[in-house]
Structure 1
């Protein structure tokens, strides 16, 4: 089963997307966007930038858990992962985004 982007609206009215792997696990989440069109542009940016591992930046949180961000060529963060217990999980998450994002469909039911 292929990955998909799910576009949703937050309680504060902002739009966001989550990239889910084929198993339904959220592997990347966006920031909040004021406009739906901007959110969809973010989806396209993930598709474009997820093909190069150099766009992924590995981080360690203060509590020792690991996560990554995906940055556009202008340096702006376009998505962040969940927290992982170890670097292996984080690196598998990066690989999953690289594998799923380019061909992922968009589940957009928000008007």
Structure 2
């Protein structure tokens, strides 16, 4: 499920949630709802690209996270931290499945 929110500063952001309501990914802030919608459509069109739009990262504490890129390679969102690489890979599968809903 994808939910669009408007923050107190007037920026828009989308939040990608799993079927049970867990937050899988939060987007960067966008200036308009239209720009947010365009980005959502763009990433949904990429869901069949074998995950090439996911950037896997590890922070200095050894935690894993996923950054989501659009079709131009710009990072448009990031997951929370995972304690294991397997957890991160499972998170990617959940993100892909949520994009199909």
TM-score (normalizing by structure 2): 0.91
Q: How far does residue 92 in structure 1 lie from its aligned partner after superposition? A: 0.5
Point out which structure has higher relative CO (alpha carbons under 8 A, 6+ apart).
Answer: 1
How many residue pairs align between the two structures?
100
Q: CA deviation at 1:5?
A: 0.5
Cα RMSD, aligned residues only: 1.2
TM-score normalised to structure 1 length: 0.83
The secondary structure found in structure 2 opposite 1:82 is: coil
Task: Give the structure 2 partner of residue 29 of structure 1.
Answer: 26
List, as ranges, runs of 4+ consecutive aligned residues in structure 1 with deviation greater than 4 Å: none
Cα separation, 1, equivalents of 2:12 and 2:41: 15
1:90 match: secondary structure: helix
Matched, 1:13 2:10: yes
Residues 53-111 of structure 1: per-residue CA shift (max 9 Å, x gap):
121111001221100112123111122111111111110010011111022xxxxxxxx
Match of 2:39 in 1: 42
For residue 70 of structure 1, what is the aligned residue in structure 2? Answer: 68
Q: Which runs of 5+ in 2 are unaligned?
A: none
Structure 1 unaligned residues grouped into runs of 5+: 104-111
Question: Is this contact kept in 2: 1:56–1:68, CA < 8 A?
Answer: yes
